[in-house]
Structure 1
Amino acid sequence: MALPIITADQRRAQRRGVKIVILGVSGIGKTTQLKSLDTHSTLFIDLEAGDLSVSTWDGDCLRPRTWPEFRDLVVYLAGPNPALPEQSPFSQAHFDHVCSVYGDPASLDKYQTYFCDSITALSRLCFNWAKSQPAAFSDRTGKPDSRGAYGLLGQEMVTALTHLQHARGKNVVFVAILDCKTDDFGRKVFVPQIEGSATALQLPGIVDEVVTLAEIKADDGTSYRAFVTQTINPYSFPAKDRSGRLDLLEPPDLGALIAKCAGTGTPAQHPQAPTPTDSKE
């Protein structure tokens, strides 16, 4: 059967979703961004059991506690990959099994956004699972093999996040803690706090937007929070804007940011970015 050609008008008429990663140091307010999202159309995937800051938010929530539970949730939310064999995670057989447990996936139609907090906690769940799998043990000695465990961790994480990214028409938000490290030359480097290195390296290529929620110093010495959104920025924060619609600094309002990325929002007033010289003072 030939693939149907999708015209430009048909493509534009399709419901679009924004796939975004929010990075930031602990306590900067990443989870609190949930409050800027509509309660009726947002599903909160709480992996940290750290919802005290959003205890007054009235939306729905799911709390997977193991890596297999998260994989089941991913295929339920994003649907099956028809190219995969039956025994593979995210296959049609996997999807059918999960639907028999979770119920009709049509119940997900009400949600426009999946808010996953956080990849940091998710990577720990996955690593704990990976360490118990056959790939994490040496074939020759039977002893634990950390290289095998980390290899499986990277493969599983990237596959699951990529599959969830294919939830067509849905906004998918991933949250992760941002660490500041020093490289061999004494320079500060900001990296996502994720077990292993494969996921952190490939994550920017999986999503549309990478933004860092940070405290920015203004010219008058005061500080304010903002999303840093562009790859070239004076703070060296990880960032990427595939939409081309975002300014260097955007207000710390995730709902407004998603709308602007999708081309449905109105520009908000926000402070301008200081020059690179100002940012070092």
Structure 2
Amino acid sequence: MALPIITAEQRLAERTGVKLVLLGRAGVGKTSQLKTLPEVSTLFVDLEAGDLAVKDWRGDTIRPTTWPEFRDYVVFLAGPNRALPAEAPFSQAHFDHVCQRYGDPAQLDKYDCYFVDSLTVLSRWCLAWAKTQPQAFSERTGKPDTRGAYGLLGAEMIGALTQLQHARGKHVVFVAILDERLDDFNRKVFQPQIEGSKTANELPGVVDEVVTLAEIKTEDGTSFRAFVTHNLNPYGYPAKDRSGALDLLEPPDLGALITKCATTHRSFSSESNEQHRTTA
């Protein structure tokens, strides 16, 4: 049996998805960005049951209501991690069990994008669940152990989001509220509104893109909405662009932004293949 090497041409020709975190203050229009995504190929994972802003959007929706149910959806949407033991979430056994309930995962082939709104609510579900688990109680006294609950919260959230991030060929958008606060030196800082610190700190490393939907004020006092996409920006907003395709400020159109990132990858793939053929 030969070593199963994936060549550069094969890898670059694979269909890839943009993994993105969309941040913004409450009411700035994060959920409404769903309207910029294709209705026929986007699955709305509605965690807030607050879809009034997109009630006229005619795409498909799922509405998990608990942390265990969300984990079931994650393994169904993204597939199993075959390296995990059978008893672990997202294992092959977990996937097989969920498929018995939801059916053939081929039904997901129609979707190019998963829009998950929001991590703010999801982290509260996860924390409520974590507080009921054995790790949230002291082995010595049996009393609640807050540190243990938050440790489990962080591990569970990052595990689930990383698993969903591995949905090959799918765009995945995670939405979260952005909070403004003062740090220990009385400086204004922005932080995703997510329970516990581990998820907020590690999430940028899980995804390709972090964008903040913000209201930008001009020198003449007027303002406009835009996506802030670069880590080094004059506003202090969280941002990251791994694609290298985005300007500092992008129009507030999530569908167009995802297309821009994905098109850059395809162009790079075509150029690399052409260079390879020329060299050969």
Q: Deviations over 1:164-213 (max 9, x none)?
A: 00000000000000000101111001000000000000000000000000
Q: Which protein has the bigger helix share? A: 2
CA distance in 2, matches of 1:83, 1:128: 28
CA distance in 2, matches of 1:145, 1:101: 35
Q: Provide the alpha-carbon RMSD of the alignment.
A: 1.1
1:240 equivalent in structure 2: 240
CA distance in 2, matches of 1:4, 1:204: 31
CA distance in 1, matches of 2:180, 2:73: 32
Shift of 1:95: 0.2
1:107 equivalent in structure 2: 107
Amino acid at match of 2:102: Y
CA distance in 2, matches of 1:230, 1:133: 39
2:36 equivalent in structure 1: 36
CA distance in 1, matches of 2:61, 2:2: 40
Q: What count of residue pairs does the alignment treat as equivalent?
A: 265
CA distance in 1, matches of 2:160, 2:3: 26
Amino acid at match of 2:15: R
Shift of 1:220: 2.5
1:197-208 correspondence runs (5 A):
197-208=197-208
1:17 equivalent in structure 2: 17
1:263 partner SS: helix
2:156 equivalent in structure 1: 156
Give percent identity, aligned residues only: 74
Q: Deviations over 1:140-169 (max 9, x none)?
A: 111111000000000000000000000000
Show structure 2 runs of 5+ residues with no match. 266-280
2:227 partner SS: strand
Scaled by the length of structure 2, the TM-score of the pair is 0.93
Runs of 4 or more off by more than 2 Å in structure 1? none
Shift of 1:2: 6.0
1:195-234 correspondence runs (5 A):
195-234=195-234
Checking the alignment, whether the CA contact within 8 Å between 1:245 and 1:263 is kept in structure 2 is no
1:84-123 correspondence runs (5 A):
84-123=84-123
2:128 partner SS: helix
Shift of 1:79: 0.3
CA distance in 1, matches of 2:53, 2:126: 25
Show structure 1 runs of 5+ residues with no match. 266-281
Shift of 1:264: 5.9
Q: Deviations over 1:55-91 (max 9, x none)?
A: 0000000000000000000000000001001111000
Amino acid at match of 1:249: L
1:247-266 correspondence runs (5 A):
247-263=247-263
